């Protein structure tokens, strides 16, 4: 059985891939690492790549995980990159993220989540079902603050300008995190939100299977 190496997004964990069913493939999740002091995204990607134990692997990333897959692919040869609810270059960052980055608001305000803000955060993430909300709330409750601050800063200030030739991008037209109006994707999922990997897992599984052949 072939392997697809998966990297989840910020605000998700390995459960995000649990509903995907891709015949003939084993989904192996690479867990996030604790960032080193002043570590760049390139240095972090090099450490993540050490957990890939196959040559020319297939990588699949959700949200920030998709960005990390692209960074890994700059350092090792990969067969395919599949990204879901993510972006390929800095040019696909939504305008609001660029404004936050330029104003450094993410460095001024606390990254801590509060119970009163969770409904809004879930709506923004597209966490609709009880399972999606539970996963998102649990992540926010247990997420390492150092990692979250590092990841948010790297997302907002991502400098990548190169689109890999072997990438397959799946995006939802109702994504509020990475709005589709700044994105050019290979497959657009109607009514797909940021966490559609769970709510529309069957549809996304079929798209991936069709792409992989």
Residue 3 pLDDT exceeds 90: yes
Query: What region does 110 belong to: left with phi over 0, alpha with psi -120 to 50, or beta?
Result: beta
Euclidean distance between CA atoms 79 and 24, whole angstroms = 16
Angle, helices 118-125 vs 130-142, to 10°: value is 120
User: Residue 165 has which token pair?
Assistant: 């030739």
Residue 200 pLDDT exceeds 70: yes
Domain map (residue ranges) of the chain? 2-212
Residue 104 pLDDT exceeds 80: no
Residue 128 pLDDT exceeds 80: no
- pLDDT band for 130, please (50, 70, 90 cuts): confident
Top-confidence residue, 108 or 59: 59
**Measured between alpha carbons, how far is residue 144 from residues 32, 101, 113 in Å?**
11, 21, 12
Look at the chain and count its residues. 213
Three-state SS annotation for 110-146? CCCCCHHHHHHHHHHHCCCCHHHHHHHHHHHHHCCHH
What is the per-residue pLDDT across 146-192, written as a single tens digit (0 to 9) for each? 898 899 999 999 999 999 999 999 999 999 999 999 999 999 999 99
pLDDT at 118: 63
What is the per-residue pLDDT across 29-42, written as a single tens digit (0 to 9) for each? 999 999 999 999 99
Percent with pLDDT over 70 in the chain: 89
Q: DSSP 3-state assignment of 61?
A: strand
Q: DSSP 3-state assignment of 35?
A: coil
Average per-residue pLDDT for the chain? 89
pLDDT at 108: 44
Task: Give the residue from 3, 161, 199, 162 showing the smallest Cα distance to 84.
Answer: 199
Residues 6 or more apart whose CB falls under 8 angstroms from that of 160 comprise 67, 70, 71, 88, 89, 90
Specify the fold of 2-212: Rossmann fold (3.40.50)
- pLDDT band for 109, please (50, 70, 90 cuts): very low
* % helix, strand, coil for the chain, step of 5: 45, 15, 40
What is the per-residue pLDDT across 54-99, written as a single tens digit (0 to 9) for each? 999 999 999 999 999 999 999 999 999 999 999 999 999 999 888 8
CA angle 107, 108, 111 (to 5 degrees): 70
- pLDDT band for 197, please (50, 70, 90 cuts): very high
């Amino acid at each position: 059985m072939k392997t697809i190496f998966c990297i989840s997004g910020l605000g998700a964990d390995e459960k995000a891939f649990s509903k995907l069913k891709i015949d003939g493939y084993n989904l192996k999740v690479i867990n996030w690492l604790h960032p080193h002091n002043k570590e760049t995204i390139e240095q972090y990607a090099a450490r993540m790549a050490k957990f890939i134990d196959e040559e020319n692997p297939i990588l699949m990333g959700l949200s920030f995980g998709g960005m990390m897959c692209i960074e890994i692919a700059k350092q090792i040869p990969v067969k395919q990159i599949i990204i879901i609810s993510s972006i390929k270059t800095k040019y696909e960052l939504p305008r609001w993220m660029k404004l936050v980055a330029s104003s450094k608001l993410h460095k001024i305000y606390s990254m801590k989540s509060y119970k009163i803000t969770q409904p809004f955060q879930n709506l923004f993430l597209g966490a609709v079902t009880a399972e999606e909300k539970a996963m998102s709330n649990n992540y926010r409750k247990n997420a390492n603050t150092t990692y979250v601050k590092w990841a948010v800063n790297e997302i907002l200030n991502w400098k990548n300008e190169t689109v890999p030739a072997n990438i397959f991008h799946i995006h939802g037209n109702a994504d509020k995190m990475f709005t589709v109006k700044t994105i050019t994707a290979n497959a657009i999922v109607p009514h797909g939100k940021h966490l559609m990997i769970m709510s529309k897992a069957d549809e996304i599984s079929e798209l991936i299977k069709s792409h992989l052949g």
